[in-house]
């Protein structure tokens, strides 16, 4: 079993690269989608991703309990593709419905750390090959507003934790993969 973290910016080609890894594996693919359609623009993005996926892939929509789904679909003859950890992190951050202040310290919901711990544990126990897709959001200027800075910090921590647990980490920019950790893909 291999665990691969695919990182990149918005429209970097990271999802397409992850899809190619899944196809090239020759295994049954379970695609775990974390996005939720909160508005028409996001619904269009989701529809675009769905249309681009092979019809034989099993799609599971899971906005929060990602670790549970990894274990549920775990099988040596499968590859599980998770797209994406960034939207999952947003879902967790706003799961309580809390309105965060523009300034001051942010108190994260209990579900936030609980689900991240469950994901890390499930990733180590999963019998499938796993490909995780995540945005690298910390390469620009420091964002304005406490919640935005909190998100960038937590995304960076999550990416580091997942990279430590994965066999490979690949950064994609302009559709070109750069292997950061592990063997070439």
**pLDDT tens digit at each of 185 positions of the chain:** 899 999 999 999 999 999 999 999 999 999 999 998 888 998 898 888 888 899 999 999 999 999 999 999 999 999 999 999 999 999 998 887 777 766 677 777 788 889 999 999 999 999 999 999 999 998 888 888 888 888 999 999 999 999 999 999 999 999 999 999 998 87
**Structure tokens, 159:** 């990416």
What is the model's pLDDT at position 103? Answer: 67
Q: Could you count the other beta carbons within 10 Å of the beta carbon of residue 1?
A: 12
pLDDT at 70: 98
In a domain, 178, yes or no: no
183 in a domain, yes or no?
no
For residue 93, give both structure tokens.
């951050």
Residue 182 lies in a domain: no
Residue 179 domain flag: no
Q: Of these residues, 27, 49, 72, 181, which one is catalytic?
A: 49
Distance CA 183, CA 185 (A): 6
Answer yes or no: is 34 within a domain: yes
Measure the CA–CA gap between 173 and 10, rounded to whole angstroms: 9
- Asked whether residue 9 is marked as a ligand-binding residue, the answer is yes
Residue 112 lies in a domain: yes
- Collect all residues with Cβ–Cβ distance below 8 Å to 172 and sequence separation of at least 6: 6, 7, 8, 12, 13, 14, 17, 178
DSSP H or E segment with residue 121 = helix 110-125
Instruction: Provide the domain count of the chain.
Output: 1
The single residue listed with the structure tokens 């890390």 is: 120
Domain membership flag for residue 181? no
State whether residue 171 is helix, strand or coil: strand
Task: Establish whether 113 is a catalytic residue.
Answer: no
Residue 78 region by backbone torsions, left for phi larger than 0, else alpha for psi between -120 and 50, else beta: beta
Instruction: Check which CATH number belongs to the domain holding 20 and give it.
Output: 3.40.50.300
Residue 108: domain span? 3-171
**10 in a labelled binding site:** yes
- Within a domain: residue 66? yes
110 in a known ligand binding site: no
Judge whether 83 is annotated as a binding position. yes
């Amino acid at each position: 079993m291999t665990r691969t973290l695919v990182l990149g910016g918005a429209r970097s080609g990271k999802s397409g690269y992850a899809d190619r890894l899944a196809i090239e594996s020759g295994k049954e693919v379970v695609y775990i989608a974390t996005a939720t359609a909160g508005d028409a623009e996001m619904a269009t993005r989701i529809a675009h991703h769905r249309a681009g996926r092979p019809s034989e892939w099993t799609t599971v929509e899971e906005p929060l309990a990602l670790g549970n789904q990894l274990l549920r679909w775990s099988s040596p003859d499968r590859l599980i593709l998770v797209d994406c950890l960034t939207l999952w992190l947003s879902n967790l951050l706003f799961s309580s419905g809390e309105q965060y202040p523009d300034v001051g310290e942010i108190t994260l919901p209990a579900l936030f750390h609980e689900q991240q711990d469950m994901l890390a544990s499930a990733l180590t126990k999963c019998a499938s090959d796993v490909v995780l897709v995540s945005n690298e959001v910390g390469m620009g200027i420091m964002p304005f507003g406490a919640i935005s800075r909190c998100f960038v910090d937590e995304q960076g921590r999550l990416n580091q934790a997942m990279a430590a647990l994965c066999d490979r980490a690949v950064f994609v920019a302009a559709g070109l993969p750069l292997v950061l950790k592990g063997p070439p893909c």
